[in-house]
Amino acid sequence: MMALVMVGLATVACGADEDSTGATGGITPVASVAPTPSPALTPSAEAPKFVKVTATPAPGTKQDALFLEAKKVYETYLEQTLLFEQEGGGESLPLELQKTVDGPWENVLEEYYKKVEMRGHHVTSQSAGFGKVTLSRIKTEHSYLITLRSCVDQRQWVFVDKSGGEVSRGNVRQIIMSMAKENGSLVITAASSKGVDKCVV
């Protein structure tokens, strides 16, 4: 199972295989002086943009209750990882992202996003979004409830450094993820992600 977990440290939401992000000061008002206007937001200070994800099941995919639940978990996972990519990572996973993962894959993500924060790169909010996202069901090993394979188009992503300079672009990623129940909720516990020229769905 560890082979599945560790293939490609880049996460499902990472656009590049290895590379992937305003201080304000108070002054005492003076009656005879007009208030200082707030500075315009720089690209690095822009608020992350939430992007709704809808994955398209591949033709012939069995869409039972378990698949539909797993599909929702995966869509939420993509939405939350993109938000975190825009924030430039961090020491711990945001709560909504934590709800979609557990076990070895959660540990992989935590380590990855610590490195993202140290690197100082992030996805711009202007480029945040997805192209086509497809999803199919594949053979599941006994320790998991369901395994899905997905193709995710992240080519519109633009990664910039702290000064706003472009450092890399997103790509198309082939994702395989396995899920299990933890505390009554379906979560991703093992996954792999790699950049590809063409996906197999």
- Whether the model clears a pTM of 0.75, i.e. scores above it, the answer is yes
Collapsing DSSP states into helix, strand and coil, what is residue 191?
strand
The mean pLDDT of 98-108, rounded to a whole number, is 97
Domains and CATH numbers, the chain: 53-196 (3.10.450)
Above pLDDT 90, what percent of the chain?
74
Write the DSSP assignment of 86-119 as a string of letters. Answer: HHT--SS--HHHHTTB-HHHHHHHHHHHHHHHHH
Instruction: Summarize pLDDT for 123-146 with one digit per residue, the tens.
Output: 999 999 999 999 999 999 889 999
Lowest mean pLDDT among 27-31, 133-137, 153-157: 27-31
**Could you tell me the two tokens for 170?**
């997103």
Length of the chain: 201
* Among candidate residues 2, 7, 18, 12, the one with its CA nearest the CA of residue 119: 18
pLDDT over 50 (residue 164): yes
Contact 168, 195 (CB under 8 A): no
**Contact, 27 vs 36, CB < 8 A?**
yes
pLDDT score at 45: 57
